[in-house]
Amino acid sequence: MRAQVELPLAVDRTSGVPMAVQVGDQLREAMRGGALRAGERLPSSRGLATLLGVSRTVVTEAYQQLYAEGWLDGRHGSGTYVADIARSPNTRPAERESLHDHQTGEQRFQRRRKITGEGEVDLRPGRPWVRAHDTAAWRRAWRSAGDLLLNDYPDPYGHTELRGLLADHMRRARAVPVGSGNIMVTQGTGHGLDVLAATMLRPGDRAGVEEPGYRVARAVFAARGAEIVPCPVDDEGVIVERLPRGLKMLYTTPAHQFPLGGRLPIPRRERLVAWARRTGTLIIEDDYDAEFRYDVAPLPALYGLDPDRVALLGTLSKSFSPDVGLGWLLGPAPLLARIAERREELADRTSGPVQRAVTTLLQHGDIDRHLRRMRLEYARRRAAIVAELGALVSGDTAGLHVTIRLPAEIAPVAVEKAAARGVLVETLDHYHGAAPRYFGLVIGYGSASLTEVRRGCAVLRELLAELLPDALQ
């Protein structure tokens, strides 16, 4: 066995290339050129991180990528080694290049998810704060779940007690008068949307999605064979007068349009419901972060305006944690009956122990207390963004993200430069299904601390002052 190799590596913090990619590229080039030979041992991720003065996550991501491409070989308990394939004389250049380009499905997921490294600030949207739970309440909830007798034939509607508690929650939090007979427990928003699509849609049916809008909705409808129809929005939400004809269902986010952040006004809500009655379209109302408002009380849900033409999706993913995997679907009883039959056909169910744990959290008022704490915390973070970025910010009256409108050519440059300085944000055009109409940044403040939000926004302010000198005057 050869000794560990000392590597002449360096990272450039001023480069727009992520540091993990820089490390991976240099190691790959060393293996291609013969500076690293098959069987030679690489430094540990901790040791190389110390040598380079970077976080261990940077080196771990680089090593994981090289493992996935076949350049490295791990030997349990003895370290990381250069794989034989890295310099095999039987491997043609084209084959070596294909190894460089290849990623497994898991690796692609990890690259998209990109766990932040030390010093990085994650301001991407869609991620809540999951480090402020009452641990005593959480443990109590799971002790109660452990007392639950396992069910051999789970109810597709969900546990009766939990549905009653969710009905009370919706009356308190959203002023929606609903009985437990109109509630179905799901595994979250995406799952609720899928069981609706599986029940209602046939191949070729037209399903409308806000444009720009929630990418998961487009993916779910497409997976069920529907024709995805973009439905234009403005700063207040979906534009009723421009809705296309022939829609079987329409997915919309009226409480806080995703991603622009508009709030659908009452007159437009009434026109939207009237349109649904006239056309026979089912409106799917995603109430994903309606619990968090910072200016006035939440507007009434569309479901309350017409429970026969609206199905409302709710979830604990934003208000509590996506890891819980529980949500709810409100809808007319005949629709829920059809969905229940479909769930039985698909052997689809929501975990009984999870339902029991959430039941306990609701019974003891733990979720309500958590929501009150997080409203105050998120309000502080939102205020910090507005204080730093001022008039550039829009869509900040609710939820866990804001937007900044920028010229089309500036937005991607800002994202790259921010990433190079350790701040992760996304562009608005990322959420379009057709040709982008809106350009700028989407800034989430759910998963970053108040200190991190301030630091990240200070970086963004500096960058925008460089890219658009007059924007922050």
Angle, CA of 319, 323 and 329, to the nearest 5°: 60
Q: Are residues 450 and 429 in the same domain?
A: yes
Q: Specify which of 75-89, 124-138, 244-258 reaches the highest per-range mean pLDDT.
A: 244-258
Sign of CA dihedral 469, 470, 472, 473: positive
In a domain, 91, yes or no: yes
In a domain, 473, yes or no: no
Q: Are residues 341 and 419 in the same domain?
A: no
**Percent of the chain clearing pLDDT 90 (strictly above):** 61
In a domain, 193, yes or no: yes
**Percent of the chain clearing pLDDT 70 (strictly above):** 88
Tell me the average pLDDT across 307-316: 95
Q: Does the structure show a pLDDT above 60 at 4?
A: no
Which DSSP helix (H) or strand (E) runs through 425?
none
Tell me the average pLDDT across 200-226: 95
Q: Are residues 41 and 158 in the same domain?
A: no
Taking the alpha carbons at both ends of the chain, their separation in whole angstroms is 63
Q: Are residues 361 and 384 in the same domain?
A: no
Q: Does the structure show a pLDDT above 90 at 7?
A: no
Tell me the average pLDDT across 452-473: 89
Q: Does the structure show a pLDDT above 60 at 3?
A: no
Q: Which two tokens stand for residue 175?
A: 């002023």
Closest CA to 217 of 243, 192, 184, 193: 193
* Cα distances (angstroms) measured from residue 12 to each of 16, 52, 114: 9, 10, 20
Q: Does the structure show a pLDDT above 90 at 109?
A: no
pLDDT band with cut points at 50, 70 and 90 for residue 227: very high
Q: What was the pLDDT predicted at 56?
A: 87
Q: Does the structure show a pLDDT above 70 at 71?
A: yes
In a domain, 116, yes or no: no
Q: What was the pLDDT predicted at 45?
A: 84
Q: What was the pLDDT predicted at 392?
A: 92
Q: Does the structure show a pLDDT above 60 at 396?
A: yes
Q: What was the pLDDT predicted at 471?
A: 66
Q: Are residues 145 and 257 in the same domain?
A: yes
Q: What was the pLDDT predicted at 472?
A: 63
Ramachandran region of residue 355, left (φ > 0), alpha (ψ -120 to 50) or beta? Answer: alpha
Look-up: residue for tokens 């109109």? 182
In a domain, 127, yes or no: no
Q: Are residues 175 and 272 in the same domain?
A: yes
Q: What was the pLDDT predicted at 96?
A: 37
Q: What was the pLDDT predicted at 204?
A: 95
**Of 107, 123, 144, which residue is a domain's last?**
107
The pLDDT mean for the chain works out to: 87
| Number of domains making up the chain | 3
Q: Are residues 28 and 80 in the same domain?
A: yes
Q: Are residues 181 and 61 in the same domain?
A: no
Closest CA to 49 of 34, 36, 61: 61
Tell me the average pLDDT across 385-408: 93
State the residue range of the domain holding 232: 135-365
Q: Are residues 156 and 204 in the same domain?
A: yes
Whether the bond into 212 is cis, omega within 30 of 0: yes
Look-up: residue for tokens 């569309």? 302
Closest CA to 170 of 287, 252, 297: 287
Q: Which two tokens stand for residue 418?
A: 């921010």
Look-up: residue for tokens 């919706």? 170
**Of 88, 107, 126, which residue is a domain's last?**
107
Sign of CA dihedral 406, 408, 413, 418: positive
Closest CA to 322 of 135, 215, 189, 161: 189
**Looking at residue 72, what DSSP letter applies?**
E
Q: Are residues 44 and 161 in the same domain?
A: no
Q: Are residues 324 and 404 in the same domain?
A: no
What would the pLDDT profile of 273-310 be if each residue is shown by its tens digit? 999 999 999 999 998 888 888 866 667 789 999 999 99
Q: Does the structure show a pLDDT above 80 at 225?
A: yes
Q: Does the structure show a pLDDT above 60 at 208?
A: yes
Whether the Cβ atoms of residue 209 and residue 179 lie closer than 8 Å to each other: no
Q: Which two tokens stand for residue 412?
A: 């991607």
32 against 277, higher pLDDT: 277
Q: What was the pLDDT predicted at 156?
A: 95
Whether the Cβ atoms of residue 442 and residue 412 lie closer than 8 Å to each other: no
**CATH number, domain containing residue 357:** 3.40.640.10
Closest CA to 348 of 217, 173, 157, 167: 157
Q: Which two tokens stand for residue 363?
A: 């019974």
Tell me the average pLDDT across 324-339: 96
Tell me the average pLDDT across 338-361: 95
**Looking at residue 301, what DSSP letter applies?**
P
**CATH number, domain containing residue 50:** 1.10.10.10
Whether the Cβ atoms of residue 329 and residue 312 lie closer than 8 Å to each other: yes
In a domain, 7, yes or no: no
Q: Which two tokens stand for residue 237?
A: 């939400």
92 against 39, higher pLDDT: 39
Tell me the average pLDDT across 399-408: 94
- Kindly report the number of other CB atoms within 10 A of residue 138's CB atom: 18
Q: List the single range of 44-58, 102-116, 330-344, 456-470 with lowest mean pLDDT.
A: 102-116
What would the pLDDT profile of 161-173 be if each residue is shown by its tens digit? 999 999 999 988 8
pLDDT band with cut points at 50, 70 and 90 for residue 94: very low
Q: How far apart are CA 179 and CA 182, in angstroms?
A: 6
Tell me the average pLDDT across 122-128: 93
In a domain, 389, yes or no: yes
**Of 340, 365, 390, which residue is a domain's last?**
365
In a domain, 11, yes or no: no
Q: How many residues belong to the chain?
A: 473
Q: What was the pLDDT predicted at 111?
A: 47
222 against 84, higher pLDDT: 222
Q: Are residues 360 and 375 in the same domain?
A: no
Tell me the average pLDDT across 199-228: 95
Helix/strand/coil percentages in the chain, nearest 5 = 45, 15, 40
